[in-house]
Amino acid sequence: MYLTEKDVRGIATYARIGLSDAEVAAMTVDLNSIIENLKPITEYDLRGVEPTFHPIAGLSNVMREDRVRSGFTHDEALANAPAEQDGQFLVPSILGDAGGDR
Amino acid sequence: MAVGFEYPDLSVAAIRAGLAAHDFSAREVAQAAIARVDALDPQVHAFLEPTPELALAAAERIDAALAGTDAHNAADASAAATHNTALDSLGPLAGVPIAFKDNMNQLGTHTTCASLMLKDYTAPFSATCVERAIAGGGLPLGKLNMDEFAFGSSTETSAFGRTYNPWDLERVPGGSSGGSAASVAAGMVTVALGSDTGGSIRQPASFCGVVGMKPTYGVVSRYGVVAFGSSLDQVGPFGRTVADIAATLDAISGRDLRDCTSQEVTTCFTDYLERGVAGMRIGIVSALTDAPGIELEIVTATHQAVKRLESLGAHIVEVELPNAAAALAAYYVIGPCEAFSNLSRFDSVRYGYREPDAADLGEQYEQSRAHGFGPETIRRIMLGSYLLSSGVYDTYYYPAQQVRTLITQDYQRAFEQVDALITPVSPRTAFRFGEIADPTSMYLSDIFTIPINIAGNGGLSLPVGLGETSGLPVGVQIIGPQFSDENIIQVAAALEATYDIRRRAPLEAGIHASIEDRLGTPLKAPTQASAEGGRQ
């Protein structure tokens, strides 16, 4: 067992996913099973092996000229917002009930 | 409609020839495609959002351009030749019905990633691959079903219902690009685009008996495609023939200033269709192909394909990929870590599902993500979150990246000896719905495809007929050296020509009139978007 339910609750908080008690229990079983299958990674002799963070070696970034381009308009950027007010993204109170209008 | 116009089997080249000869118009092709989607998609459910009016509008533009050229050259004796020139200027996909996986933004359509999180998201821009396919003459028929955020191998994790395999409606089409494979296999579109992070193009292509290709990482721009694993994701085409794949790749490949990983590609892939394999060195990996757990019919089909290549004059060379087994574990570290990072953008503030009545911002994040994402997506995010946490990083993530070096070196060594590799695509043919419920078993179905994403090379699934036991489509995988994707096209086209097999599933409208009666209700009712169809 790699993870307890308490660990899973901590991970969920970090990932900003609200899980119910039943979901935490099921997730704990699933994650332990998956992590067990990752074991080969821990068993290789990797001394002196450099990591590869990107699949294609020896390529350079593609850069464009540093020139101003038009992007989304204000309306386009807000078009998919679940809630907006005065041309801005609207969120609930950050500081709790005292924080103002919802 | 002109005589001989059998839409479901038309190839890219046949559409081009038909337009040039005035056998039919692009509008007639679009209408035939729309009718085919209307007739068959109730059974297949490949489409999340059909876009018939966009297809018709694109067709009108092509017909107008061709008519304009005709009028201009009415008195010219070489008008026919000029007509071809006009077609050339319209691009490699002129008049070709195409559809896009629903993780690709297309201006004015929904981009749901088959997730409740993005159910109502309307794309304010187009992905480069979509833009190029349409600029290349493609007729956009709609957006296609997939596993939610591309997490899956069966399209069963879609929040908007299953896609049914056109060869056997009781089976999965594979995934995650299941809608793309099924739409082509059913003859609803000529070609489709998908994305491949660990096999999500090649495995569904093999399950649905069509050709599917993941090019080398960097060949096709990912701009505007919702990211899953940024060091693994690549966009690629589905088609019923290698020639159709090559034409599509010609349209969408190449450098894009909006994706810094995209590379200059000057190759014309269509030029490699007729070159044959005489003298080419093609590698086989017996330790992989003949490993336990692989269905006998898959092994047999692979061996037969190798024999055919040999009889065409290819030199068959035994090569080794000693670290292939570690690729799966490396993938299930790297993939979730990158997904965890990429999916943090779904914050319910700028776009996406928002849980109503949250007390504060923290609760809004947590409840919106818990209810907007499906179970498999949450599992991957949770796994990535754990693997990147302090202390754990050094146990899994860093070693996974070192293993990646070993796997990449395996392929580099192999491609010093050969021009292409041939392996199976999947250890088995299409499975039944719900047959693989355990997530770990599902992950194992990508064992032949995942190492290619880890190494960055290109790979293609080629249908080689029906399995001896299952009677379902079997594919073999052709793999090429990095940025030598033309080798893949060359080998696949030569091998394809030796098979006289069905290119399209034997599915016609009305045969399974009441699929709901046989299979029960889909997991979830189709969304408003798919039920209304064509909503912009």
Cα–Cα distances in Å, from B146 out to B63, B71, B329, B416, B417? 32, 44, 24, 37, 37
- CATH superfamily label, B8-326+401-525: Amidase signature (AS) domain (3.90.1300.10)
Cα three-residue angle B207-B210-B216, rounded to 5 degrees:
95
Bridge partner list, A84: A89
Contacts of B365 (CB under 8 A, 6+ apart): A16, B347, B348
On whether residue A56 sits in a domain, the answer given is no
Please state the separation of Cα B493 from the chain's center in Å: 18
A52 part of a folded domain: no
- Residue contact B122–A82, C-beta within 8 A: no
The H-or-E segment that residue B55 falls in is helix B52-72
Domain contains A13: yes
DSSP SS3 for B9:
helix
Active site residue B214: no
Q: Establish if A88 belongs to a structural domain.
A: no
Residue B176 annotated to the active site = yes
- Number of folded domains that form chain A: 1
Place of tokens 């000029």: B82
Distance between CA A11 and CA A30 in Å, rounded? 14
A36 within domain boundaries: yes
B158 in active site: no
Q: Do A46 and B482 touch (CB under 8 A)?
A: no
Residue A94 in domain: no
Query: ipTM for the complex?
Result: 0.91
For residue B84, the SS3 value is: helix
How far is it between the farthest Cα atoms of chain A?
A: 59
**How far, rounded to the nearest angstrom, does the alpha carbon of residue A97 sit from its chain's CA centroid?**
27
**Which residues of chain A lie closer than 8 angstroms to B440, CB-CB?**
33-34, 37
Q: Which CB contacts under 8 angstroms, 24+ apart, belong to A84-88? A: none
| Domain presence at residue A57 | no
CB B402 to CB A44 under 8 A?
A: yes
Q: What is the pLDDT along chain B (536 residues), one digit of tens a residue?
A: 444 578 999 999 999 999 999 999 999 999 999 999 999 999 999 999 999 999 999 999 999 999 887 666 665 555 555 566 677 788 999 999 999 999 999 999 999 999 999 999 999 999 999 999 999 999 999 999 999 999 999 999 999 999 999 999 999 999 999 999 999 999 999 999 999 999 999 999 999 999 999 999 999 999 999 999 999 999 999 999 999 999 999 999 999 989 989 999 999 999 999 999 999 999 999 998 888 889 999 999 999 999 999 999 999 999 999 998 889 889 999 999 999 999 999 999 999 999 998 999 999 999 999 999 999 999 999 999 999 998 899 999 999 999 999 999 999 999 999 999 999 999 999 999 988 877 666 666 788 999 999 999 999 999 999 999 999 999 999 999 999 999 999 999 999 999 999 989 999 876 543 444 334 333 333 333 333 333 33
Predicted local confidence at residue B510, as pLDDT: 64
Q: What is residue B3's predicted lDDT score, i.e. its pLDDT? A: 42
Residue with the larger pLDDT of the pair B441 and A35 = A35
Here the tokens at position B413 are 């060594």
Give residue A11's domain range.
5-43
Q: How far is B260 from chain A (nearest CA, A)?
A: 5
Which residue of A34, A39, A60 to mutate against B (max B Cβ within 10 Å)? A34
What is residue B318's predicted lDDT score, i.e. its pLDDT? 98
DSSP character for B360?
S
Residue B110, classed as helix, strand or coil, is strand
- The structure tokens 């833009």 sit at B131
Q: Which of A7, A16, A37, A42 is most worth mutating to test chain B (most B CB atoms within 10 A of its CB)?
A: A16
Beta-carbon separation of B359 and A50 below 8 A? no
Q: Is residue A84 part of a domain?
A: no
Ordered by start, the domain boundaries in chain B are 8-326+401-525
Contacts of B455 in chain A (CB under 8 A): 55
Within its chain, how far is the Cα of B436 from the centroid?
22
- DSSP run (H or E) holding B387: helix B375-387
Mark B421-435 as b/e (b = at least 16 C-beta within 10 Å).
bbbbbbbbbbbebee
pLDDT for position B168: 97
Q: Residue A56 is nearest to which of B349, B366, B456, comparing CB atoms? A: B456
Q: How far is CA B130 from CA B170, B194, B227, B343, in A?
A: 31, 11, 15, 22
Question: What's chain A look like in SS3?
Answer: CCCCHHHHHHHHHHCCCCCCHHHHHHHHHHHHHHHHCCHHHHHCCCCCCCCCCCCCCCCCCCCCCCCCCCCCCHHHHHCCCCCEECCEECCCCCCCHHHCCC
- Closest Cβ opposite residue A81 in set B261, B350, B403: B350
